[in-house]
Amino acid sequence: MSGHRLASALIAAFVAACITVPATARVQDVAAAPCQLCGGTADESAESRATSSIRLEVQTRLDFDKVVFNGEGEAVVSLSPEGVSQMLGAASATGASAMPGSVVIRGEPGRQVRVDLPSRIDLIGEFGGAVRIDQIVTDLPSFPRIGDDGSLSFRFGGDVRITGDTDGLYRGSVEFLVDYL
């Protein structure tokens, strides 16, 4: 009886592997498709093409925490890539868990990259209001380069400008464009 259960478990594991592995391989083959304009040869292996691709992984979301705005004038909440927050104008903090965003770029070791940042990020509130993050800043070096381990990490922050009736929770997305030089 126990021999039958073991065989069933092995067959189930084998079927799962057969379903998963080909799907993963297809995704990698599509992601690593050779560039027709890049001068590469048709004999390049899938492994060498895969190492030249770039991936972004979000490690931590940018979070300005809770801010109390008194409703008169304008407030600016700045959050540096190092996690230092500062408030100017008609705002005060109610929590101490503001956190810069952090991203890891994975790609070909030693390659220099260009990282394009948005000029601003629009955040939409749960009740329809909007605020924006201006002056996106990072701790990237002037000439960023992927490390010997195939990764480059950076943190980012910015300034949130608050005016008017802006009560609520705000969310948005940010688009970083990364390319090899």
For 70, residues 6+ apart whose C-beta sits below 8 A from its C-beta are 90, 91
Co-location of 27 and 69 in the same domain = no
Whether 39 shows a pLDDT value over 60: the answer reads no
Amino acid type, 58 = V
Q: What are the structure tokens assigned to 3, written together? A: 């021999």
Last residue of a domain, one of 53, 72, 94: 53
Q: pLDDT at position 130, please?
A: 84
Domain containing 22 equals 1-53
Co-location of 125 and 78 in the same domain = yes
> Structural domain tally of the chain?
2
Of 24-28, 57-61, 150-154, which range is least confident? Answer: 24-28
Co-location of 41 and 104 in the same domain = no
Whether 121 shows a pLDDT value over 70: the answer reads yes
pTM: 0.68
For 178, residues 6+ apart whose C-beta sits below 8 A from its C-beta are 54, 56, 105, 113, 114, 115, 116
Q: Select the more confidently predicted residue: 56 or 7.
A: 56
Co-location of 88 and 152 in the same domain = yes
Co-location of 22 and 71 in the same domain = no
Co-location of 49 and 89 in the same domain = no
Specify the CATH number for the domain of residue 86: 2.60.40
- Outline where the chain has alpha helix (H): 2-31, 46-51
